[in-house]
């Protein structure tokens, strides 16, 4: 299942093209809601990767989880979303 999540996120990131996204969001919940078709965890990771202006520098997994939960309350998805976020930014 985890592979399928990564594949879906990769497809979204690939389809979004290079450069700055044309979309912009004022907060994490608006971004996640707009990308709800991805599933909550994947939508959070997508928003963190593609919209870095939404969040401060996330130094590690714990800081990411804390920020995501404080800015959206995604307690069930924050750990997986942050793990995916760090995999994407480390791969890029």
pLDDT tens sequence across 39-54: 999 999 999 999 999 9
Residues of the chain with pLDDT under 70: 1-21, 92
pLDDT of residue 52: 95
CA angle 80, 26, 63 (to 5 degrees): 35
pLDDT of residue 5: 53
Coil/strand/helix, residue 36: helix
pLDDT of residue 22: 75
79 close to 1: Cβ distance less than 8 angstroms: no
pLDDT of residue 3: 46
């Amino acid at each position: 299942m985890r592979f399928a999540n990564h594949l879906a996120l990769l497809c979204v990131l690939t389809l979004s093209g290079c450069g700055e996204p044309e979309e912009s969001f004022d907060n994490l919940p608006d971004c996640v809601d707009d990308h709800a078709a991805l599933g909550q965890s994947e939508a959070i990771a997508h928003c963190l990767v593609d919209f870095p202006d939404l969040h401060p520098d996330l130094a590690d997994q714990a800081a990411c989880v804390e920020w995501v939960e404080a800015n959206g309350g995604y307690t069930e998805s924050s750990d997986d979303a942050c793990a995916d976020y760090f995999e994407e930014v480390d791969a890029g």
